[in-house]
Amino acid sequence: MLKNIPAILSPELLKILMEMGHGDEIVIAAGNFPAAANEMSANAFKTIVDIDLLGTFNVLRYCYEYLRKPGASIINISAPQAFIPMEMQAHVCAAKAGVDMLTRTTAMEWGPEGIRVNSLVPGPIEGTEGMKRLAPAGSSSAQRVIDSVPLKRQGTVEDMANAALFIASDIASYINGAVLPVDGGWGLGGAGQLGQSLAEMAKLAQKPGM
């Protein structure tokens, strides 16, 4: 029986945990927003740390008993900002770097019990809320995104799903504590360049009269 599950977790997750009582895989993801460090309040910074880092910890911590068995797999969704500094993303870089270290440390601590913990790092994924806002389909920004990826395309939700299915499967049973980019090579250079361009666009958008 699962006990001491905090109310901060969503009612849907609580319902699943209490009804099923056990499981094999769980995927943990959270989003963010752009903001300049010198214009961001401590509360704004804390909001992303709470959502991305503390939120990931809460789900990890309170799903532990639910997944505590050989063959279980936890997948955290990270971001390139975990290892690539980007303007307007200081809060995200800090939080996502923390998520990757949570991945590695829990992989070490829980590995002896048969629980694997890994991170997936998505590149630009078409159709997601972030890409709709930053680079709408058909826009010059969308083309810039495509040009920044070595494979010359945006990823799809199927690309992410396939990577998650692989990591969760028995085929990947010896993969633990990995941080796997699913980005078409974007993190090799294009992510930083595009991040700078998007930061400039965000700064312009925030100027009065723009």
Q: E strands, the chain, where?
A: 25-28, 73-77, 116-122, 179-182
**Structural element, H or E, at residue 47:** helix 42-48
Contact, 6 vs 62, CB < 8 A?
yes
Tracing tokens 């299915």 back to the chain, one arrives at 165
CA distances from 61 to 46, 110, 128, 189 (A): 20, 11, 28, 34
Catalytic residue among 96, 119, 141, 148: 96
Helix axis angle, 190-206 to 140-148, nearest 10°: 160
Question: What are the residues whose beta carbons fall under 8 Å from the beta carbon of 100, sequence distance 6 or more?
Answer: 76, 78, 82, 83, 119, 179
Q: Is 169 a catalytic residue?
A: no
Q: Is 96 a catalytic residue?
A: yes
**In residues, how long is the chain?**
210
Residue 96: CB atoms within 10 Å:
28
Catalytic residue among 73, 78, 119, 148: 78
Catalytic residue numbers, as ranges:
78, 96
